[in-house]
């Protein structure tokens, strides 16, 4: 989880920030659907590396992390 929050806590490299009131940062990504957001977390997109450099994370772990980040950003 620390590797996710290294960028998502600050918005580094355009990462959508996590935290209360940050839902609008996730909006454009979620328009493509949760599965697309999870696929981007798994495979990487733009400057985000595959698995956010959490190579011990399973695909299910990454889905849970994405869901957590979205939920805590409402």
Share of the chain above pLDDT 90, in %: 95
Q: d(Cα 71, Cα 74) in Å, to the nearest integer? A: 6
Q: How many domains in the chain?
A: 1
Domain that holds residue 21: 2-71
> What are 4-29's pLDDT values in tens digits?
999 999 999 999 999 999 999 999 99
Q: d(Cα 15, Cα 6) in Å, to the nearest integer? A: 10
CATH number, domain containing residue 38: 1.10.760.10
Would the pTM of this model clear 0.85, i.e. be above it?
Answer: yes
Q: d(Cα 52, Cα 66) in Å, to the nearest integer? A: 11
């Amino acid at each position: 989880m620390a590797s996710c929050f290294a960028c998502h806590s600050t918005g580094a490299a355009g990462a959508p920030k996590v935290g209360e009131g940050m839902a609008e940062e996730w909006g454009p990504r979620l328009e493509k659907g949760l599965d697309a957001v999870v696929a981007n977390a798994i495979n990487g997109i733009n400057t985000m590396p595959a698995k956010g450099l959490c190579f011990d994370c399973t695909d299910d772990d990454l889905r849970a992390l994405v869901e957590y980040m979205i939920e805590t950003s409402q």
